[in-house]
């Protein structure tokens, strides 16, 4: 009896006679995953759907996937994958079947219990056997599966890079902080800041950030905040005296406000870059620091040019301006020496903002009708419901659209915040903070941080240990503190 173990490999290929959308729906039903995760399997990257299988187990998994229209292949675990798409990885043993050749030969019983992606045995038969592109096409008879050698180019495969043969897995972020625990830090920070006339605020900032970073975990490892409070204090004092000097000049020299205002407008991009870089370079994960790099010209466009053009265009450029801001931030961040990549389109952002606009218009029309035909009180309720719905939609949606378009090498980030849940947490937190005269603030912050972390995950290709730490550089806190003092900055959401 053979002891050789096998893996099921898939790189987005689709069997002849199936449509791409139907195959994605079939795979989603088989594995009981979200449509987003199912779609990622078809991006052309070679992935292992299952590993360490016996030949019989591998054949059964393959048969179910081929019946669903996914052109998968069986490979021995010890076979080195091809370096480039289409390059042969080596010939399999001739007595070991690799592909089924017709639907009648496919095994359809569910296979459960092994590691990796588990096939959903409860998936409806219609999801894998009925309709065009879902099993046997009605007009063409049984689908034909072309037998190909292992390592050859699968049917309709997008040509993309092949990665190391490791399973992709979803790792969830976790926030382990507690409101009562953070309350002790929060109240001491406030009291010491008051007693020291604000000097302790630099240490309070570091303690707050260290608490939230240390309690945010990914794959069992916590994030780190490494800033020096003395450096932050120096930056704040510089910003404070700059503000005093600005106020004196404006009061003593007529017309200086306009000149200084124009000068400050062109200083904003520099302040933003320095602020983002200071925060990034003092953040670390697994002892590898983050970084932020961007040009002054790009920051000037994001902070000054696009907002001004959007104003001239009567806010019709708002989706485009937000996209530019997200792209500026997403492409600017680094983890060690590896840059993040932000990849999205104008159409995605205009569709997102267009849906929000339609929601607002719908509630506005409903409010007007209620005011005209029923009662003003009902109209107020409709307008309030509309405002809250749109507010929750954008509060959750802007985070989701930014995070879902971020990748780090072969790893990708995902966010699935719910507008309703975000709105509920925000409103209930606000009400409790007011009712407790601010004492509920620590619990409110912890509650929101826990929910955001629970709704964020990273699809990891292999592991996160292959990153090389960038040079351990330091940067002045002046940029961040100028941003705080003059209330400027840039945010992704």
Q: How far is CA 372 from CA 4, 30, 358, 367, 386, in A?
A: 76, 51, 21, 9, 17
29 with 120, same domain: the answer is yes
The arithmetic mean of pLDDT across residues 185-205, rounded, is: 95
The arithmetic mean of pLDDT across residues 276-303, rounded, is: 92
175 with 314, same domain: the answer is yes
Q: Is 388 exposed, middle or buried (0-12, 13-18, 19+ CB in 10 A)?
A: middle
Asked whether the predicted pLDDT for residue 116 surpasses 70, the reply is no
216 with 114, same domain: the answer is no
- How far apart are the two ends of the chain, measured CA to CA in Å? 58
Residue 162 lies in a domain: no
123 with 174, same domain: the answer is no
Q: What six digits make up the tokens of 432?
A: 């409790």
More confident residue, 47 or 205: 205
Q: Is 124 exposed, middle or buried (0-12, 13-18, 19+ CB in 10 A)?
A: exposed
Question: pLDDT for 59-100, tens place per residue?
Answer: 877 878 888 888 888 888 765 444 434 444 444 444 443 443
Say what the pLDDT of residue 130 is. 38
339 with 465, same domain: the answer is yes
Residue 176 lies in a domain: yes
Residue 148 lies in a domain: no
114 with 255, same domain: the answer is no
89 with 234, same domain: the answer is no
Beta partners for residue 225, in sequence order: 283
Q: What six digits make up the tokens of 303?
A: 């902070």
179 with 116, same domain: the answer is no
Residue ending a domain, among 129, 144, 178, is: 129
315 with 377, same domain: the answer is yes
Asked whether the predicted pLDDT for residue 443 surpasses 90, the reply is yes
pTM above 0.95, yes or no: no
Q: Is 342 exposed, middle or buried (0-12, 13-18, 19+ CB in 10 A)?
A: buried
Q: What six digits make up the tokens of 486?
A: 């003059």
The arithmetic mean of pLDDT across residues 266-281, rounded, is: 90
Question: pLDDT for 35-53, tens place per residue?
Answer: 777 777 887 777 777 776 7
Question: pLDDT for 319-363, tens place per residue?
Answer: 999 999 999 999 999 998 889 999 888 999 999 999 999 999 999
299 with 192, same domain: the answer is yes
Asked whether the predicted pLDDT for residue 492 surpasses 90, the reply is no
Residue 136 lies in a domain: no
The DSSP output letter for 156 is T
Question: pLDDT for 211-253, tens place per residue?
Answer: 999 999 998 899 999 999 998 998 888 888 888 988 888 888 8
Letter string b/e over residues 70-96, b meaning 16 or more CB atoms within 10 A of that residue's CB:
bbbbbbbeebebbeebeeebeebeeee
Domain residue limits at 249: 168-485
Say what the pLDDT of residue 359 is. 93
Asked whether the predicted pLDDT for residue 123 surpasses 80, the reply is no
Say what the pLDDT of residue 300 is. 93
119 with 178, same domain: the answer is no
208 with 285, same domain: the answer is yes
| Domains contained in the chain, number | 2
């Amino acid at each position: 009896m053979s002891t050789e173990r096998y893996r099921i490999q898939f790189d987005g290929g689709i069997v002849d006679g199936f449509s791409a959308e139907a195959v994605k729906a079939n795979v989603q039903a088989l594995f009981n995953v979200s449509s987003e995760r199912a779609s990622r399997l078809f991006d052309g990257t070679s992935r292992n759907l299952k590993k360490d299988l016996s030949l019989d187990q591998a054949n059964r998994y393959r048969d179910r996937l081929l019946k669903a229209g996914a052109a998968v292949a069986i490979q021995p675990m010890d076979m080195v994958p091809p370096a480039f798409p289409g390059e042969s990885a080596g010939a399999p043993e001739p007595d070991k079947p690799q592909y089924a050749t017709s639907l009648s030969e496919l095994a359809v019983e569910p296979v459960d219990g092994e590691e990796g992606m588990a096939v959903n045995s409860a998936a409806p038969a219609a999801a894998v056997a009925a309709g065009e592109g879902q099993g046997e096409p009605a007009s063409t008879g049984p689908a034909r599966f072309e037998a190909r050698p292992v390592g050859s180019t699968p049917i309709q495969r997008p040509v993309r890079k092949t990665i190391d043969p490791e399973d992709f897995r979803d790792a969830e972020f976790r926030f382990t902080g507690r409101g009562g625990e953070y309350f002790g830090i929060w109240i001491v920070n406030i009291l010491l800041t008051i007693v020291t006339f604000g000097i302790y605020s630099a240490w309070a900032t570091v303690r707050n950030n260290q608490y939230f970073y240390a309690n945010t975990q990914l794959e069992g490892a916590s994030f780190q905040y490494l800033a020096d409070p003395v450096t932050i204090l120096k930056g704040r004092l510089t910003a404070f005296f700059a503000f005093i000097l600005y106020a004196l000049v404006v009061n003593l020299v007529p017309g200086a406000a306009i000149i200084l205002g124009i000068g400050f407008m062109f200083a904003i991009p520099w302040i933003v870059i320095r602020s983002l870089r200071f925060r990034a370079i003092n953040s670390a994960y697994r002892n590898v620091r983050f970084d932020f790099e961007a040009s002054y010209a790009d920051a000037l466009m994001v902070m000054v040019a696009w907002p001004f053009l959007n104003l001239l265009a009567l806010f019709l450029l708002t989706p485009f301006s937000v996209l530019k801001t997200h792209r500026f931030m997403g492409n600017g961040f680094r983890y060690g020496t590896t840059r993040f990549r932000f990849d999205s389109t104008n159409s995605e952002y205009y569709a997102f903002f267009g849906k929000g606009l339609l929601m607002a218009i719908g509630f506005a029309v409903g409010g007007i009708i209620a005011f005209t035909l029923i009662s003003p009180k009902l109209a107020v309720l409709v307008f309030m419901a509309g405002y809250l719905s749109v507010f929750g939609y954008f509060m959750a949606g802007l985070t989701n659209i930014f995070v879902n378009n971020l990748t780090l090498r072969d790893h990708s980030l995902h966010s699935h915040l719910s507008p309703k849940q975000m709105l509920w947490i925000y409103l209930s937190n606000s009400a409790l903070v007011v009712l407790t005269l601010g004492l509920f603030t620590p619990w409110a912050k912890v509650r929101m941080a826990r929910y955001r972390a629970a709704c964020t995950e990273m699809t990891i290709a292999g592991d996160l240990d292959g990153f090389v730490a960038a040079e351990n550089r330091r940067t002045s806190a002046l940029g961040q503190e100028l941003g705080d003092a003059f209330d400027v900055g840039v945010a992704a959401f």
